[in-house]
């Protein structure tokens, strides 16, 4: 009797190990702490694991470009390991085409869009007491332009170029991630910083609260919807950079903010099997409320927004498995 029980236990263990080995591994590079990517990616990984779609884990990174490099270089179909990237649409575009220098020799043309996530605001964060009202006022100030090589830094430099501001005109230039930039502004070691992320970004919310306790108030600098800055960005990323108004309720600013936005997409490698891609789509869109609970920016992760992106006919193709899922639910023909 004992021997038969032992054999049963061993059989269960062997079968369990075999099934685990059969399950693919999905790694989701995210972003820096304090940014929406960090929380969004963790939530997606948890969803996929709990749905039994894959053994999924999230990995902290410097953001979009790091994520796309990992998708390109670390995906290994032979071992059923797939890196799926969270990325801004502007970074996805220039890496796909090879316009980004790090992808000039070996493009990320194997990336495929799965779904639209949410829009990201090009934040230019400062305080009411700083006296900074326009991008040109950053001259002579201590400014963080974002983590080196990040989408934030890339867009920050374009915004500055459009406004005719050279980083050499800063009193000091820092290149800090989101949470570190917010901390530096709160402590008074910088005067302003750039951050490209979803609304609300947790570190910006915390900064607003910290400044209020100190008797100051958070301020977001307007990004003119017309003029050289907007024209430059829209020329650089046609159909990707959009304009809008951020309500003052978002972060408790004194006024509404004229703003520039870029989109965010979830991408997986072309080598990912269609069945796995379709299963990822089903797991995500069957658990949207769980995703929104994890990060409020996910309220814009909708079938409609993804279909709108499909109809926009972006240069980067959609994954066939993602399209198959959209057809199965009747969202596209």
Read off the pLDDT of residues 253-297 as tens digits, 9 standing for 90 and up: 999 999 999 999 999 999 999 999 999 999 999 999 999 999 999
| Residues 54-76, mean pLDDT to the nearest whole number | 96
Res 195 pLDDT > 80:
yes
pLDDT band, residue 320 (cuts 50/70/90): very high
pLDDT given for residue 241 in this prediction? 85
Of the pLDDT bands very low, low, confident and very high (cuts 50, 70, 90), residue 9 is low
Would you state the pLDDT for residue 238?
A: 74
**Which tens digit of pLDDT belongs to each residue from 216-258?**
999 999 986 667 788 888 788 877 888 899 999 999 999 999 9
**pLDDT tens sequence across 109-139:** 789 999 999 999 999 999 999 999 999 999 9
**Does residue 18 register a pLDDT over 70?**
no
**pLDDT, tens digit, for every residue of 46-61?**
999 999 999 999 999 9
Q: What's the confidence (pLDDT) of residue 2? A: 54
The average pLDDT across 160-175 equals 95
Is the per-residue pLDDT at 39 higher than 60? Answer: yes
Higher pLDDT, 200 or 3: 200
Backbone φ, ψ for residue 244 (5° rounding):
-175, -175
Backbone angles phi, psi at 55, to 5 degrees: -85, 100
């Amino acid at each position: 009797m004992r021997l038969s029980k032992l054999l049963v236990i061993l059989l269960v263990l062997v079968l369990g190990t075999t099934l685990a080995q059969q399950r693919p591994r999905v790694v989701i590079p995210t972003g820096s702490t304090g940014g929406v990517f960090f929380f969004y990616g963790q939530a997606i990984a948890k969803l996929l694991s709990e749905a039994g779609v894959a053994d999924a884990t999230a990995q902290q990174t410097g953001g979009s470009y790091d994520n796309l490099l990992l998708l390109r270089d670390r995906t290994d179909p032979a071992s059923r390991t797939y890196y799926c990237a969270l990325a801004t649409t502007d970074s996805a575009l220039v890496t796909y085409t090879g316009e980004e220098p790090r992808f000039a020799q070996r493009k990320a043309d194997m990336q495929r869009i799965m779904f639209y996530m949410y829009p990201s605001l090009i934040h230019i964060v400062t305080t009411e007491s700083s006296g900074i009202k326009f991008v040109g006022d950053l001259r002579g100030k201590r400014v963080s332009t974002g983590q080196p090589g990040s989408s934030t830094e890339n867009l920050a430099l374009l915004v500055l170029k459009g406004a005719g501001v050279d980083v050499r005109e800063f009193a000091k230039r820092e290149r800090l991630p989101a949470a570190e930039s917010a901390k530096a502004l709160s402590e008074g070691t910088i005067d302003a910083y750039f951050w490209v992320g979803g609304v609300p970004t947790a570190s910006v919310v915390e900064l607003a609260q910290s400044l209020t306790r100190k008797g100051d108030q958070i301020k977001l600098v307007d990004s003119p919807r017309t003029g050289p800055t907007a024209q430059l960005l829209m020329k650089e990323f046609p159909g990707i950079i959009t304009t809008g108004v951020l309500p003052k309720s978002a972060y408790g600013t004194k006024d509404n903010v004229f703003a520039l936005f870029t989109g965010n997409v979830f991408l997986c490698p072309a080598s990912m099997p269609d069945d796995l891609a379709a299963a990822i789509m089903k797991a995500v869109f069957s658990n949207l409320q769980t995703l929104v609970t994890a990060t409020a920016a996910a309220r814009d992760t909708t079938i409609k927004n993804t279909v709108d992106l499909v109809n926009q006919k972006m240069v980067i193709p959609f994954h066939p498995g993602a399209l198959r899922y959209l057809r199965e639910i009747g969202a596209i023909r």
